[in-house]
Amino acid sequence: MKKIVLLLSCIFLSHSTFACSAFLLKSQKNFFVGFNENWKTMPGMVIINKRGVAKTGLGWDFMAAQPGKNPDGKKWISKYGSVGFSLMGIDMPCYGMNEKGLYLVELYLDKTFSISEKGKTNMFWAQWIQYQLDNFADVNEMLKNLDQAPVIDWWPTFPGSHFFVADKSGNTAVLELLNGKMKVYSGKEMPVKLLCNNEYEKDLLSLKEYQPFGGKKSFDMENNNKWDDRFIKAAHMLNNYNEAVSGNPLTYSWNILEAVKPGEWQMVADMKQTKLYFRSDISNNIKEIDLNKIDFSEKADLKYVDIHFDQEGDISRNLLAFSPEVNKSYTEKGFVIAYDNKEFPGSVTFKNVIENLHNYVKSLY
């Protein structure tokens, strides 16, 4: 099969067309995370993940292999429930928040590639996100346990992503796997709580050329709309936020997302209240999921909703019954979008991935 060209979520043909952004906004008494997922119209599920589920890590080699084998990756039992936003089905989120307020999202980075590490198993990047949400309550706990986490498997023929992490205390971190090593920015090393699609350090250096970040350049908020302006523009909007003047921080978070580059999927998280607000290019109505109203217990029925669900307001009580068959339909659609190659949907690799994931989901749920 010809070399597959991957275009997933924040991956794009040209910098001027596709771009992702994540940030944390501090108000007087709260914190809000905003995220734009920019690429093109995508199918997707918003999924409720339960506590107490015994899981096994899945690497790409297992997913793409002939079905019939049992996965032999890292094993764990989900400690916390979470809400995941996924293109590829349950346990494969692009981003999500757990019931303790840990939030994690991936953003494309063209300098990140898969590696192998002796003594460790690999785990597909989307499941790696779920692994963190399942196991850790806040940023510091997650960072302390990074060395024990599986090695991230990206796509076999395309770069991966870096990660933006936040919690309800306002702690944030950036994780970048560069040259085979994980670089972490947090605390004083992350003075601007913002991430786009460049290496964090490079965007930070560019920002320091501008007022009021140590430089002399002024920034034109109205006319600077290039791909490389997103970090600088969002940083200025975060720095200029004054609740008495700028108003509601939830509304202001939406304004930042719209100003830097509107996304096909958009989300704002009320961190302290553990509430998620989201909308899409197909359904622009803002929907809310209140994690405090969700039953994450082991005995609870699994629930989901289509990311394009056309309703406004709190939908926490209006979620649908999940099944492995429903999940498979999203997995099939999602991977066709994920691998933007006309040959992939008819390939043996595609069939194996879908079947292996379906068997795995049936064994768990």
Helices and strands: H and E segment counts in the chain: 9, 20
Per DSSP, 71 falls in state P
Sorted by where each begins, the domain ranges of the chain are 21-188+248-364
Per-residue pLDDT reduced to its tens digit, 221-278: 888 777 778 999 999 999 999 999 999 999 999 999 999 988 899 999 999 999 999 9
| Phi and psi, residue 122, nearest 5° | -95, 155
Per-residue pLDDT reduced to its tens digit, 128-164: 999 999 999 999 999 999 999 999 988 776 667 899 9
User: Which residue positions in the chain have pLDDT lower than 70?
Assistant: 1-19, 157-159, 339-341
pLDDT at 341: 65
Helix (H, G, I), strand (E, B) or coil at 198: coil
Closest CA to 33 of 137, 134, 109, 104: 104
pTM score: 0.93
Per DSSP, 73 falls in state S
Distance of CA 230 to the CA centre of its chain: 18
At the topology level, CATH places domain 21-188+248-364 in Penicillin V Acylase; Chain A (3.60.60)
With beta carbons less than 8 A apart as the criterion, state whether 278 and 286 touch.
yes
pLDDT at 117: 76
pLDDT at 158: 65
